[in-house]
Amino acid sequence: MAISDTKLRSLHGKPYTGSPEVSDADGLSARISPKGVINFQYRYRWDGKAQRLGIGRYPAVSLKDARSIIAELRVLYDKKIDPRTYFEDGQDSGNQVTVKDCLDYWKANYVDVSLRDNTKALYESTVIKIMSEAFKGRPVAQITIKQWVDLFTAEEKLNSRRARQLLVQLRSAIGWCIRRHFINDCAVMRINPRDIGSRAETGSRVLTYYELAEIWVAIERSRAATSNKLLHQMLMLWGARVSELRLAERSEFDLQAMVWTVPKEHSKTGKEIRRPIFKQIVPLLEKAMLTYDNILFPGYEISEPLTMAAANRYIKRIRENLDIGYWRAHDFRRTLVTRLSEEGIAPHITEKMLGHELGGVMAVYNKHDWIEGQKEGYEIHAEKLLDHVKKLLSD
């Protein structure tokens, strides 16, 4: 009876009392422990003796991957070559591969060639930066589950949500290395993310206009690069995603048509986003254009955009000096939509302001941007915010 993904998912990590081995085809089988640990293996005969060759542990090695490997092993077998030679080079080198080696291999062969720039930056600032130092110089094959658990327990004490994020990202990297046969196995794959740290909560913070005004004034009074200050004030007004504006170039802003066009390369949805350039944001945009060249929000290098890490550090400094509770730049988006909904701005317009794709039939047939409707909403939002800023400064 063939193995199925549905069957494997139903058995993985759960108490199991059935047959310890489930066969597929061409010698592939899955060995299942009473605790629901599933290992793929290849069964064949060599020199008249029955042989079992471990292929990898599910789900780090998927059923599709296992069948692909079996096909290659069958080719070796038919050529009178012992299938064990398939893994020999990988096992010898894999025994010396460190965590850093895995992350470097994953970065060079997957992250750098397959992912978008903002996702690369995320991985580089989290799992690659932090976990490359884990068990420095020690082969992953020698790191026990207990040692991994101890490491992530220490991370939990520093930041519970980050600890789980690091484990999820590391499992992704290590699993990729296993599937590419860079290493054979790693004990970290046997740790369930649910057992480490806490899940990041869905954002729910909606700021008041008075709180927005406090943030605005704190930005004005802060000692920071003009690019960083302008970036976050314009984010408050536009409600854009940070990287949509952070990566923006001069050519995206048409001051004749008064439209900002976010190219699909900078858009989370992978599609172009059009937003109006409204009257209250014009002075900020003109200041950025007057101060800088093609890159409107540069970091240390005038020719390179501000990094996400630098933007996050800046907001953290602003937040720590205000007594309004926890908030992030992303909350400007939720605040914009909530406050404009209170003013009667239609949902399809606020969705376009956020750069979201419309749902249902509208996503297929309606490609209108409602630029004038967006402009009306932005001007209402900006007027209310800047009025509160004036009141705050006059108190």
303 — phi, psi (to 5°)? Answer: -95, 0
pLDDT digits (tens, 9 = 90+) for 181-197: 888 888 899 898 888 88
Domain ranges of the chain: 5-83, 99-195, 209-394
Give the tens place of pLDDT for each residue, 230-273: 999 999 999 999 999 999 999 999 999 999 999 988 888 788 99
Better-scored residue on pLDDT, 357 or 286: 286
Q: Which residues pair with 249 in a beta bridge?
A: 295
Question: Residue 191: which region, alpha, beta or left (left: phi > 0; alpha: psi -120 to 50)?
Answer: beta
Q: Which two tokens stand for residue 6?
A: 């549905």
In this prediction, residue 92 carries a pLDDT of 43
CA dist 88 and 73 (Å) reads 13
β pairing state of 259-262 and 253-254: antiparallel
364 pLDDT higher than 50: no
What is 209-394's CATH superfamily?
Intergrase catalytic core (1.10.443.10)
Mean pLDDT of 322-328: 88
Euclidean distance between CA atoms 38 and 16, whole angstroms: 11
Neighbouring-strand partners of residue 50: 45
Residue from 189, 175, 173 nearest 108 by CA: 173
H or E element at residue 171: helix 160-179
Is the distance from CB of 121 to CB of 306 less than 8 angstroms?
no
Binning the chain into helix, strand and coil, the percentages to the nearest 5 are 55, 10, 35
Instruction: Provide the percentage of residues in the chain whose pLDDT is more than 70.
Output: 93
Beta bridge mates, 57: 39
Highest mean pLDDT of the ranges 32-36, 140-144, 266-270, 356-360: 32-36
pLDDT at residue 1 tops 70: no
* 297/247 Cα distance (integer angstroms): 7
Q: Across the chain, what does the average pLDDT equal?
A: 87
Instruction: Kindly report, residue by residue over 193-235, the tens digit of the pLDDT.
Output: 888 887 655 557 899 999 999 999 999 999 999 999 999 999 9
pLDDT surpassing 70 at residue 87:
no
pLDDT above 90 coverage of the chain, percent? 47
The answer to whether the predicted template modeling score (pTM) of the entire model surpasses 0.85 is: no
Edge-first strand order for the sheet with 259-262 is: 253-254, 259-262, 273-276
Lowest mean pLDDT of 40-54, 67-81, 188-202, 297-311, name the range: 188-202
> Tokens representing 187?
């004990």
pLDDT of residue 365: 38
The Cα 91–Cα 85 span in angstroms is 10
Report long-range pairs for 333-340 (Cβ below 8 Å, ≥24 apart). Answer: 333/239, 333/240, 333/241, 334/203, 334/204, 334/205, 334/206, 335/205, 335/206, 335/207, 335/212, 335/239, 336/239, 336/381, 337/239, 338/206, 339/206, 339/209, 339/381, 339/384, 340/377, 340/380, 340/381
Question: What 3-state DSSP class applies to 128?
Answer: helix
Instruction: Tell the CATH topology of 99-195.
Output: DNA polymerase; domain 1 (1.10.150)
How far apart (Å, rounded) are the C-alpha atoms in residues 295 and 303? Answer: 6
Displacement of CA 62 from its chain's centroid (Å): 22
pLDDT digits (tens, 9 = 90+) for 126-177: 999 999 999 988 888 888 888 999 999 999 888 888 898 899 999 999 988 8
CATH of the domain spanning 5-83: 3.30.160.390
- DSSP H helix total and E strand total for the chain: 18, 7
